[in-house]
Each structure stands twice: as structure tokens, then as C-alpha cells.
Amino acid sequence: MTILSYLDTATLFRISHINKRFYHLASSNALWKKQYIADFGKNEKCTGKRLSGMAIMEVRDQATGYNKRLYFETIGQCDKIKWMKRLELISSHTGLPSETERILRNLQITWELAVIDKSGCKRTLELSWCHFIETSVTLCLYGGCLPNYDQISTLQLYGVRRLAHVGLKLVRRSLMAKLDMQTLTKNTQVIGQDRLVQLKLLQPDVIIGVWRDQCSVAFIMFNLHIHRLVERSIQGSSICPYVEPMVRPPYCDTDPEYGLHGYQLHIVLHNTVCELMSRSFSQLFCHRTQITDGLIPLIAIKSKNLSQHTPLTGDITLPWRCEVLQGAVENCCIMNLTLLDEFRKPFKCVTSPVSVGLANTTLCYDYDGEHYRIHYQDSDIQVKMMLDWMKEQKQFILISLAVYVSADYVNKHFGRNY
């Protein structure tokens, strides 16, 4: 123990991996109390009063390894203080933290995917490439001798943080998603294809690209909304995802008969290369009498109001690339939706690939092109968009946009009875 007391933190940590005897010796509370006080004793910003008080407790009062755990918890506490302050910078445009991408890059956060086949064999894929926009990030992973599509049992996405501290190199994994393929494949839909791959949508944020006329997987793509993305990427454990704290919204004294008011919608259409459209709509409103079939309509763009119509930049395609091959699936893109409540807090966030198809009806006669539709739906929200294809300009115009929120979702969130 006298010899171990001369070791620095990194060496003391490494020596604990030799065997059980050294693990017990190198976990001594006396040793780690000395390391704790040397590194954090005077840093109350990191430790806080509670941690500082715990650190100076008598060694005999705690089980072996207590101060060692406290040491590593404090590393995380110091780190959290740094990035939490930067998350408080909120964009007035989106209502979300404006520096999420910078924080993720500064913290050197990456992502990896564990692919488990039906035999129990596990393969780990590191991130191949990613593409950030203002409200989401698209992750693409491929390679590693993936099993055939029908042989995949489970997908597990992790946020990975490699933290260096006084010679220690720590790797922390945060489980972000665990997908049971047997359950998801029952509702899988094909959202597009080109001459090489077919895109299978497993759930709103996951695409698997499968080689045409084969069962082999070309790539796996995740689309993650930036709401709580930093926390989800580093604050979960290796077996449990981060759980967003439950925060009751402030009490609203507005007459319930008045309905939903003061909502803000930010919507982005983009692909894996560029942004096609980005718009914000404020003061969206729905009177209680307008609620039908349990859905609350919030109309952002009306087909008869030409001043609201919005052109899209570029073609609606979803480019992909993996290893030495690349392509682009037509009539497919990614939708990011952020709905803020009357208190300007994220109320519903959606990131999902969507497909574009011909519409059966014509809503606006001010354009002579073909009408197309985009329709997204889950248990809480529906999004309906109508577009017109201007053949001469070779451009899409968004002529109608409506969001339908489930009344049950609103009632659960606000404690109302719409």
C-alpha cells in the first residue's frame, strides 16, 4: 500500500486490472481520497458542496472502492458543467440549442452500431460518415461483413465518448436505441429505390439500404433530431438509454375553450447533402371547435394564400454512398419537424425520411403542374404537405402544410381534456 501511494492516478487505475488482488488493493479509499483531494479538492465548481463533503469523510465509513467511484463521478460532473452552459444558448429560429453540433464535435462524440444476428454473433460498426443540419444529424454505417437483412436480430446504437483525464483514457458508451428486428420488420415499408439499392424504413428514424435482388445490407442510416442529442449521446449507460426528465409545463390560465394557441413550427426538408427548405411558422392556433376525430389541426401554409407558398431548392432525392459505390433515390428526402408549445419549449420533435407521391386531388389552380403529396403519420402527430411541380422552372413549390396533433398527446402533456 505504501508503494501504491506513490503512483499517479493513471497508473493506479491501470494496475487495478492485473488481477483480483491488485484490483482490491488499488481500490483503497485511502489511495483514492488522496487522488481526489489532489485533483478536485479546491475545485468547488466541479465538485459542489455535496461531493466535497463526501470526499473528506472518514475512510472507514465507506466500503472499498467508494472514493474511486466518487473520483470518476466528479470527472463527469466537471465535464457536464462545461457543456451544459453552452446548451443554454437557444436559437430563436428553431427553439433548440444553437451550438449542439459544436458541442458534439468539441466533446469528440461519435456513434457506433452493434449488429447482432439470430445466432447471437455480434458485429460492431464504427461511424462511416455523418451530415449535420440545423435540427438533425444523419448517421451512416456500413462494412464489417454485415449479416443478411433477414438474419439480423437486434440493432443497438451507442453514443461513444473518449475522455482523456490526467493520463487516463476513458471510453464511455451510452445506449441510444435498441431495435428488435423481429418486431420492426412486420411494419417495414419500402420508401424508395434506385438501380442498386432498396430503402427499407424500419421506424421513423432508421433506414436500411438493401442491395437490389439480394438480402445483403449495403448500409444502415439513422436520422437523429438534435433535441437532447448531447444528453442522449453521453448520459445513458451501456445498457440503459438516457431518460429525459419529466418537467410539468407552467400553468396556463387561458380558458380551455380557447384551444391551443401560440404554437411555433419549424420544419426542414433536406437530404444527405443539402437543405431543400427551411421555414418557421409562429402563432399557430386551433380553436376547440375545430378538433375532429381526436386530431388538433395547426395550419401553417394555406393553398389559397399564394404569399405563403415556398419554393424548394434542388431535387427531392436522397443521395447515398457506401465504400466505393454511390447513388440517389428519387422522390425521397428527410423531414425534420420541431413543434414548440406556447412556452417556446419543444413539444414534439420528429426526424424521418418521407416519400413524395402523386396527389389524387388538386388544391390550387394557380399552378398548372402536377400535384404531389407528402404524408407522415405516427401515434402522436400527422404531417400533410402538398407540392406543385413547375415543369418549366424544374422546381417544386410547397403550397400546403398542415400538422395534426393527437388530442390524447396534448391532454397527457398539459393535463387538459380536449
Q: What pLDDT does residue 101 have?
A: 93
Q: Is residue 239 part of a domain?
A: no
Are 284 and 382 within one domain? yes
Dihedral over alpha carbons 273, 277, 281, 284 (to 10 degrees): -90
Strands, DSSP E only, in 83-227?
Answer: 109-117, 122-126, 129-132, 136-141, 152-165, 168-180, 189-193, 197-203, 206-211, 217-225
Q: What pLDDT does residue 51 have?
A: 45
Q: Is residue 244 part of a domain?
A: no
Say which range, 103-112, 166-175, 231-240, 331-340, has the weakest mean pLDDT: 166-175
How far apart (Å, rounded) are the C-alpha atoms in residues 262 and 283?
A: 4
The mean pLDDT value for 108-133 works out to 94
- Which one is predicted more confidently, 77 or 14? 14
Q: How many domains does the chain have?
A: 3
Are 195 and 158 within one domain? yes
The mean pLDDT value for 111-118 works out to 95
Q: Which H or E run contains 414?
A: helix 407-414
How far apart (Å, rounded) are the C-alpha atoms in residues 373 and 384?
A: 7
CA end-to-end distance (rounded Å), the chain: 67
Question: Pick from 87, 112, 137: which residue ends a domain?
Answer: 87
Enter the C-alpha cell of residue 288. Answer: 376547440
Q: What pLDDT does residue 182 have?
A: 86
- Which one is predicted more confidently, 129 or 213? 129
Q: Is the pLDDT of residue 365 over 70?
A: no
Q: Is residue 250 part of a domain?
A: no
The pLDDT confidence band at residue 394, using thresholds 50, 70 and 90, is: confident
The pLDDT confidence band at residue 258, using thresholds 50, 70 and 90, is: low
Per-chain mean pLDDT for the chain: 87
Q: How far is CA 105 from the centre of its chain?
A: 15
- Which one is predicted more confidently, 81 or 362? 81
pLDDT digits (tens, 9 = 90+) for 287-325: 888 888 999 999 999 988 889 999 999 889 999 998 889
Choose among 295, 128, 148: nearest CA to 221. 128
Are 116 and 77 within one domain? no
How far apart (Å, rounded) are the C-alpha atoms in residues 270 and 352?
A: 11
Q: Is the pLDDT of residue 264 over 60?
A: yes
Q: Is residue 249 part of a domain?
A: no
How far apart (Å, rounded) are the C-alpha atoms in residues 113 and 140?
A: 10
Are 333 and 230 within one domain? no
Q: Is the pLDDT of residue 127 over 60?
A: yes
Q: What letter represents residue 404's amino acid?
A: Y
How far apart (Å, rounded) are the C-alpha atoms in residues 13 and 4?
A: 11
The mean pLDDT value for 261-266 works out to 90
Q: What pLDDT does residue 46 have?
A: 59
Are 49 and 116 within one domain? no
Domain that holds residue 23: 4-87
Question: Pick from 87, 120, 135: which residue ends a domain?
Answer: 87
Are 229 and 199 within one domain? yes
Are 347 and 263 within one domain? yes
Question: Pick from 172, 199, 234: which residue ends a domain?
Answer: 234
Are 271 and 125 within one domain? no
Q: Which H or E run contains 337?
A: strand 332-340
Helix/strand/coil for 288: helix
φ/ψ of 370, rounded to 5, equals: -75, 145
How far apart (Å, rounded) are the C-alpha atoms in residues 281 and 212?
A: 40
Are 213 and 117 within one domain? yes
pLDDT digits (tens, 9 = 90+) for 155-206: 999 999 887 766 677 788 999 999 999 888 877 889 999 999 999 998 888 9
Q: 123-162: string of b/e by CB count within 10 Å (b at 16+)?
A: eebeebebbebbbbbbbbbbeeebbebebbbbbbbbbbbe
Q: Is the pLDDT of residue 398 over 60?
A: yes
Q: Which H or E run contains 10?
A: helix 9-15
Strands, DSSP E only, in 271-361?
Answer: 275-286, 295-301, 310-311, 317-322, 325-330, 332-340, 346-355, 357-358
Are 72 and 179 within one domain? no
Contact 143, 120 (CB under 8 A): no
How far apart (Å, rounded) are the C-alpha atoms in residues 157 and 175?
A: 6
Say which range, 23-27, 212-216, 371-375, has the weakest mean pLDDT: 212-216
Q: Is the pLDDT of residue 360 over 60?
A: yes
Q: Which residues contact 86 (CB under 8 A, 6 or more apart)?
A: 97, 99, 102, 103
The mean pLDDT value for 66-82 works out to 80
Are 260 and 397 within one domain? yes
Q: What letter represents residue 29's amino acid?
A: N
Q: What pLDDT does residue 52 have?
A: 45
Q: What pLDDT does residue 256 have?
A: 59
Are 406 and 287 within one domain? yes
Q: What angle separates helix 29-40 from helix 66-87, to the nearest 10 degrees?
A: 30
Contact 44, 80 (CB under 8 A): no
pLDDT digits (tens, 9 = 90+) for 15-58: 999 999 999 999 999 999 888 888 877 555 555 544 444 444 45
The pLDDT confidence band at residue 378, using thresholds 50, 70 and 90, is: very high
